């Protein structure tokens, strides 16, 4: 009867050697393709202390490690053209960022509602189009390589919900052509950077039906890709449900196609900075939780924007050019990555054990009970973090069972880490 009246939750946690290298593999970053155009118009950025700094320095300080840059073929005034992309990529590389290149295969925006051919390609036959896609991909990537930039990911098309290079490559009318164009970009990428991962990017990461239709069509027509990319732009009222649907979709993509997944664009209204922070933390942790390291990362779209630049209101800087609290979410990803490494074979040693966190009742109200295996019983550090990444409880323990007073911390979801210098275990609990 005692057990019928008490809710007991047993969280089984893997103990693994978690290296900083593995934690760094989770991509947390931003698309900042507007940066040079904004600087040309007089934009300046400041850290949270009000000190003017280079944008890349500020983003690096917020915990980001990846920069995404879009490429247009022959854009107005050269912004996002080849030379502009090289300049930004070199800056990002020198600042220590990993690089993703996003080919739109257009002179301007390519997205679900427009996939216009570049003017120079407007009269090409389909054979000429596939050759042009290959040559353009090779040309830009070769130029980047010649400037010392290593590209880690390449998007072949941007938000290709209904294909690219319309009408020839419109998926709803000619899935075969769509697949052939994807393959042209894939082959061009591998010709320059054989180890780069090729991304096919579709918007509305919550829409499993759209993704199945798109990638079933590509698979059935022999398309090649390495990563399924997603966009997600929720509101205050729906971010929790969309994140859950996005996670379900990501897991389905991994299971259905055997490919990795990545959220390559996210954003939320700048005025909702705290909601955006919570959205990002939840999404990054969900993405990092996908088994076997198949959730690669999350990137914010143009967070440096403020003052309604070109009508965009989903930046993550305030009107004084300082980062909002939303960007603090990226500092928590190291915790998510540590949890992810427990399911990533590349991060595991041959010695795997487990221990239980027992909480009575559930959720925890005032006291958390930890039970440790012999490997950690000789002495270990316990740290409890809130979901912003701040340590709220720290103590050293010795022995098998421990009771930790959590009555003073706020309600919410917490991460607990136990570390003896050689092994580390990570888990979660709810406080109410």
Encode pLDDT of 192-208 as tens digits.
999 999 999 999 999 99
Q: What is the pLDDT of residue 345?
A: 40
> Which stretch of 39-43, 76-80, 250-254, 349-353 has the lowest confidence by average pLDDT?
349-353
Confidence of residue 401 (pLDDT cuts 50, 70, 90): confident
Residues 263 and 158 occupy one common structural domain: yes
For residue 224, being part of any structural domain is answered with yes
Segment 135-158 shows an average pLDDT of 98
Residues 46 and 134 occupy one common structural domain: yes
Residues 264 and 153 occupy one common structural domain: yes
Confidence of residue 341 (pLDDT cuts 50, 70, 90): very low
Q: Are 132 and 124 in contact (CB under 8 A)?
A: yes
Q: In terms of pLDDT, which residue wins out, 371 or 176? A: 176
SS3 390: coil
Q: Which two tokens stand for residue 303?
A: 């967070």
Whole-number Cα distances in Å, 349 to 291, 296, 328, 373: 16, 21, 32, 17
Residues 359 and 301 occupy one common structural domain: no
Residues 192 and 326 occupy one common structural domain: yes
How high does pLDDT run on average in the chain?
86
Strand order in the sheet with 391-397: 391-397, 380-385, 412-419, 424-431, 9-16, 353-359, 367-371, 401-405
SS3 339: helix
For residue 2, being part of any structural domain is answered with no
Residues 276 and 315 occupy one common structural domain: yes
> Which stretch of 88-102, 291-305, 349-363, 404-418 has the lowest confidence by average pLDDT?
349-363
Share of the chain above pLDDT 70, in %: 84
> Which stretch of 11-25, 139-153, 216-230, 407-421 has the lowest confidence by average pLDDT?
11-25
Most confident stretch, 206-215, 345-354, 375-384: 206-215
For residue 3, being part of any structural domain is answered with no
Structural domain count, the chain: 2
E strand intervals along 132-269: 153-156, 197-202, 227-232, 260-266
Residues 228 and 110 occupy one common structural domain: yes
For residue 421, being part of any structural domain is answered with yes
Residues 335 and 361 occupy one common structural domain: no
Sign of CA dihedral 224, 226, 232, 238: positive
Angle at 268 between CA 264 and CA 270, to 5 degrees: 125
Q: What is the pLDDT of residue 116?
A: 98
- pLDDT higher than threshold 60 for residue 344: no
Pick from 308, 304, 231, 236: which is nearest to 268 by CA?
Answer: 236
Confidence of residue 256 (pLDDT cuts 50, 70, 90): very high
> Which stretch of 117-126, 142-151, 237-246, 398-407 has the lowest confidence by average pLDDT?
398-407
* Cis-peptide into 284, omega within 30 deg: no
Question: Of 347, 366, 384, which marks where a domain is finished?
Answer: 347
SS3 137: helix
Residues 227 and 367 occupy one common structural domain: no
The DSSP bridge pattern shows strands 295-301 and 27-31 to be parallel
Model-level pTM? Answer: 0.75
| Domain containing residue 207 | 20-347
Q: What is the pLDDT of residue 399?
A: 75
For 364-398, the pLDDT digits (tens) are 788 887 776 666 767 788 888 876 677 889 888 87
Segment 143-166 shows an average pLDDT of 98
- pLDDT higher than threshold 60 for residue 7: no
Q: Which residues contact 188 (CB under 8 A, 6 or more apart)?
A: 133, 134, 135, 136, 137, 138, 141
Q: In terms of pLDDT, which residue wins out, 134 or 373? A: 134
Segment 53-75 shows an average pLDDT of 97
Catalytic residue numbers, as ranges = 159, 265
Residue 396 sits in a domain whose CATH number is 2.60.40.3080
* Phi/psi-derived region of residue 78, left when phi > 0, alpha when psi is between -120 and 50, beta in every other case: left
Residues 358 and 336 occupy one common structural domain: no
- pLDDT higher than threshold 60 for residue 289: yes
Q: What is the pLDDT of residue 21?
A: 35
Q: Are 28 and 337 in contact (CB under 8 A)?
A: no
Q: What is the pLDDT of residue 348?
A: 39
Q: Which two tokens stand for residue 154?
A: 């390449």
- pLDDT higher than threshold 70 for residue 80: yes
Residue 144 sits in a domain whose CATH number is 3.20.20.80
Burial class (CB in 10 A: 0-12, 13-18, 19+), 350: exposed
Rounded Cα gap, residues 58 and 17, in angstroms:
31
Segment 23-27 shows an average pLDDT of 72
* Phi/psi-derived region of residue 118, left when phi > 0, alpha when psi is between -120 and 50, beta in every other case: beta
Pick from 188, 175, 192: which is nearest to 133 by CA?
Answer: 188
Residues 364 and 277 occupy one common structural domain: no
- pLDDT higher than threshold 60 for residue 43: yes
Residues 315 and 256 occupy one common structural domain: yes
- pLDDT higher than threshold 60 for residue 429: yes
Q: What is the pLDDT of residue 385?
A: 82
């Amino acid at each position: 009867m005692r057990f019928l009246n008490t809710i007991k939750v047993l969280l089984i946690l893997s103990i693994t050697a978690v290296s900083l290298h593995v934690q760094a593999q989770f991509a947390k970053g931003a698309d900042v393709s507007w940066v040079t155009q904004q600087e040309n118009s007089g934009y300046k950025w400041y850290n949270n202390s009000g000190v003017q700094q280079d944008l890349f320095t500020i983003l690096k300080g917020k915990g980001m490690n990846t920069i995404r840059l879009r490429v247009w073929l022959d854009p107005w005034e050269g912004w996002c053209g080849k030379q502009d992309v090289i300049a930004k990529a070199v800056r990002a590389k020198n600042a220590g960022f990993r690089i993703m290149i996003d080919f739109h295969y257009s002179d301007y925006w390519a997205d679900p509602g427009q996939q216009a051919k570049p003017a120079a390609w407007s009269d090409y036959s389909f054979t000429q189009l596939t050759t042009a896609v290959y040559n353009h991909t090779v040309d830009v990537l070769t130029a980047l390589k010649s400037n010392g930039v290593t590209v880690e990911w390449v998007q072949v098309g941007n938000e290709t919900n209904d294909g690219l290079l319309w009408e020839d490559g419109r998926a709803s009318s000619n899935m075969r052509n769509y697949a052939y164009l994807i393959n042209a970009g894939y082959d061009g990428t591998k010709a320059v950077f054989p180890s780069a991962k090729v991304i096919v990017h579709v918007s509305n990461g919550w829409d499993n039906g759209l993704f199945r239709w798109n990638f079933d069509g590509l698979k059935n027509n022999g398309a090649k890709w390495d990563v399924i990319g997603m966009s997600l732009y929720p509101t205050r009222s729906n971010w929790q449900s969309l994140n859950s649907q996005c996670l379900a979709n990501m897991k389905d993509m991994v299971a259905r196609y055997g490919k990795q997944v990545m959220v390559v664009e996210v954003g939320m209204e700048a005025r909702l900075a705290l909601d955006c922070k919570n959205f990002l933390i939840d999404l990054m942790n969900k993405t990092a939780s996908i088994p076997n390291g198949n959730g690669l990362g999350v990137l914010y779209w143009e967070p440096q924007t403020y003052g309604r630049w070109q009508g965009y209101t989903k930046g993550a800087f305030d009107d004084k050019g300082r980062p909002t609290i939303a960007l603090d979410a990226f500092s928590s990803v190291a915790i998510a990555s540590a949890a992810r490494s427990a399911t990533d074979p590349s991060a595991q040693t041959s010695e795997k054990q487990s221990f239980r966190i027992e909480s009575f009742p559930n959720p925890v109200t005032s006291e958390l009970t930890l039970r440790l295996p012999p490997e950690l019983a000789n002495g270990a550090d316990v740290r409890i973090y809130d979901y912003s990444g701040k340590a709220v409880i720290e103590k050293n323990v010795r022995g098998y069972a421990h009771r930790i007073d959590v009555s003073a911390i706020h309600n919410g979801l917490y991460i607990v880490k136990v570390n003896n210098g050689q092994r580390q275990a990570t888990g979660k609990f709810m406080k109410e």
